[in-house]
Homo-oligomer: A and B are copies of this chain.
């Protein structure tokens, strides 16, 4: 049981204040370092008891050297969605006494093979991978030596534990919101390379579901494939996009980064968002709240996603023959100014 100082668990700082020593000295005592004078050590130990300080389980694991490593493989840590995902996995893993190695794959098949088929050092206990190029069959052929969990919708199959959101349902939420705000002339920005079974394709399918039910058209010319999902690409798209009375009145982007680029290009052209055209993104990246206008987007529940992924690693280690599981993580439409009623 953790004692409380003013309603919160006691910390090293509380111990230090109580003992009249520095936090570093407390840390030295906790780590059993020999440099601490006996008198100081006794004083610190008394203070630990007095304030009821309990080292965290994670801290104990770390000090005992038994902490485990989880490998998280993603395309690029600089992408706001992936850095938010990494943050949540790191936090959740720390709660479990684990640390996280980040591997960047750039979405390239060779890098994805590398992380899926090798464990980079001793002590790695599992791999979470966001594949962009490898299919589930490719991965199965690689036979990863470690418990491996697929994150995201890029690979559907039944050989691995998987965690993802229902992208098609989320896209239906986006489209229904826009139709409800009177939008009729849709464009869709951002479909991936390859056979089109990834999130871009799923998101497009969800938009089509709604438009079809409303008797609205989404001609091929309104579906803009992009070489990547970044801001620069969004700018290129936004520079040429016909919008307003003679063009589109709603632009659904497959990522926030694309949408931020589109908004930037439209602002330079003097287009008023949302009056002339509504714009939506995907991922609820932090900047989606701070661009002007703020961006309507799809939010993930990263805590749920990270907990499910790490849970799959633990379960598979307990039972390697376990049937692969699928966890559909919740999503939520976040409505902001870029789709305001006009």
Binding site for B on A (CB under 8 A): 11-13, 22-25, 27-28, 31, 33, 35, 59, 62-63, 65, 67-69, 76-78, 80, 83-84, 86-87, 90-91, 94, 99-104, 109-110, 113-114, 117-123, 134, 138, 141-143, 231, 235, 260-261, 263-264, 267-268, 286-287, 289-292
Closest chain-B Cβ to A59's Cβ sits at a distance in Å of: 6
Main secondary structure of the interface of A (DSSP, over half): helix
* Chain copies in complex: 2
Some 19 contacts from A to B, beta carbons below 8 A apart, are: A12-B109, A12-B110, A12-B113, A22-B141, A28-B142, A77-B77, A78-B87, A78-B286, A90-B104, A91-B104, A99-B101, A99-B121, A123-B123, A231-B290, A261-B290, A267-B292, A268-B292, A291-B292, A292-B292
Q: Which residues of B contact A87 (CB under 8 A)?
A: 76-78, 104
Contact across chains for B86 and A121 when beta carbons are under 8 A apart: no
The answer to whether residues A143 and B35 also contact, given A121-B67, A121-B123, A292-B292 and a CB cut-off of 8 A, is yes
Contact across chains for B138 and A24 when beta carbons are under 8 A apart: yes
Closest chain-B Cβ to A189's Cβ sits at a distance in Å of: 15
Q: Which residues of B contact A84 (CB under 8 A)?
A: 78
The answer to whether residues A117 and B31 also contact, given A24-B141, A78-B286, A101-B101 and a CB cut-off of 8 A, is yes
Closest chain-B Cβ to A272's Cβ sits at a distance in Å of: 13
